[in-house]
Structure 1
Amino acid sequence: MERIPPIVKTLADDKKSITLHIPNVRYAKENDLLIKAKRFKPEEVLKNKEICGFDIVSMSLFKGVQSKIITNCCNINCDGTIEKTYYNYVTNQEILIVNHVPKLLMV
């Protein structure tokens, strides 16, 4: 299965701009590209995240949908990482932005 291209979004104000590469979870869900299981295996969790376009660093804890996964920030100019659960990434479709990204650019 190939990776889905990310959603590219540029946010700007008068002084700064950032470009985000947001994993396209919605497209993967709407087109039934994700593995569905009652009990996920570690490789299934990682495969689903790869399909959506997440830049995975590692998995710190495996516990099904509550697995903790470390990914790179969506901001292409940021070297930070984020640790959240699979549930937050895929079910809630949260954007992966580290805390030091300016709040005023969050639209």
Structure 2
Amino acid sequence: MTPPRSSNRPNNASASKVAGRQDTRNSEEHDGMDEIVASGDVCISDADHDDQEESQEETQSKSAEELLSTMVVGARKRHVAKKKKVIESYSTTAETIETSIDTLFDEHEEKS
């Protein structure tokens, strides 16, 4: 049996490059954390900002609800109007058909 082969390919990423990349990642994470910690009043302004966002979201949701309700009301009115037109059209068509059938039967009786 032959021993398993090992690849003798050169590794493009040297240990110093890998370590450098890791240092960069760690320093980026720390920079973000340092900024958050350095501005201690962030929590206070965040709370105020959250309140402002909530009130803005409430007004937006109210306006969205109003818009939605007006759209629904408008759609219902249009539906009722269309339904009324269909019923009127049906009733006039039914009357004309009845008179036409009566006329046809009367003419048939006269001929026979």
**TM-score when normalising by structure 2:** 0.16
Between Structure 1 and Structure 2, whose CA radius of gyration is higher? 2
Q: Which has the higher strand share?
A: 1
- Name the structure where helix makes up a greater proportion of residues: 2
Relative contact order, higher structure (CA 8 A, sep 6+): 1
TM-score by length of 1: 0.16
